[in-house]
Structure 1
Amino acid sequence: MGPVDWLAVGLAALAGAACIHVWYDAVMPLREGQSRVGVLAVVLAMLVVATMMGHNFARVGAERLAEKPWLFWMMPVGFALWFVAPALVIAQGRLAVGWKERALDAAGWVLAFAVMGTVFWGRS
């Protein structure tokens, strides 16, 4: 296992938080009675995700990532598609959220994870 790029972890967390913030403002405006999650909470949550990504990339190793740079997107987007999106769809179904809003929410998270992978790629 190689070293974790902690600067990339921090930058990816900020980029992912910014991405999801812009996504929610542009694509998913608030409905009556809804409120935004605080910015600090979003950044901290994305820091947890970015830490996991940084550890994952360190486990793969710089040499393998240099040989296969698509892994910078395949791993985070795959995680978002196969774990995060289904969890959102199931959880929001319990809250009577419509399918369109669930799909848009999941798409925002897939995009945020792709942006975070791009940050790690840029730092490699």
Structure 2
Amino acid sequence: MAVVAALVVQGLWYGPLFGRARLAEVGPGGLGLRAAPGRTLALTAVLLLVTSSMMGHMFARVGAGTLAVKPWLYFMMSGGLAGAFVIPSLWISYTQQRVSTRLALIDAGCVMLCYLAMGTVFWLLGH
């Protein structure tokens, strides 16, 4: 369910919210648009499954009792993963590829919201 939530967020983010801005950055022949949409979706889902599995493991290690009395940990930990690890590594990669700051910020926003969406699913399922 966490993967589905993240895919919905991503679909909205790169669809009606920032789809045109991203297309303006990468252009119609850009690398990100060359792959077949079904293949991109499948790979994204698999990678999100890896991420959500690790996130679930992380929450399990904290424990249901702790999470019950400190529910903000779901959001702090999922957002913290995105903000402290994933987004910086994305930006390091983007620096080497000379990706624009605008596109890096759009992608970082998507990553943060996807991770928070996954954390929200774990929170909702933990109740």
TM over 0.5: yes
Match of 2:42 among 40, 44, 61: 40
Q: Given residue 96 of structure 1, which amino acid in structure 2 is its aligned partner?
A: R
Unaligned residue ranges in structure 1 (runs of 5+): 1-10
How many residue pairs end up in the alignment?
A: 114
Structure 1 equivalent of residue 123 of structure 2: 121
Report the Cα offset of residue 67 of structure 1: 0.7
- Note if contact 1:16-1:113 (Cα within 8 Å) is conserved in structure 2: yes
Distance 1:95 1:72 in 2: 33
Q: Secondary structure at the match of 1:17?
A: helix
Structure 2 equivalent of residue 23 of structure 1: 13
Q: Given residue 82 of structure 1, which amino acid in structure 2 is its aligned partner?
A: A
Distance 2:4 2:119 in 1: 12
Structure 2 equivalent of residue 8 of structure 1: none
Distance 1:109 1:92 in 2: 14
What TM-score does the superposition give when structure 2 sets the normalisation length? 0.84
List aligned pairs for 1:1-124, cutoff 5 A: 11-25=1-15, 26-28=17-19, 29-30=22-23, 31-34=27-30, 35=33, 38-124=40-126
Distance 2:90 2:14 in 1: 15
Unaligned residue ranges in structure 2 (runs of 5+): none
Kindly report the root-mean-square deviation, in angstroms, between the aligned alpha carbons of the 2 structures.
1.3
What TM-score does the superposition give when structure 1 sets the normalisation length? 0.86
Distance 1:42 1:58 in 2: 24
The percent of aligned pairs where both chains have the same amino acid is: 38
Q: Given residue 13 of structure 2, which amino acid in structure 1 is its aligned partner?
A: W
Say which structure is richer in helix. Answer: 2
Report the Cα offset of residue 32 of structure 1: 2.2
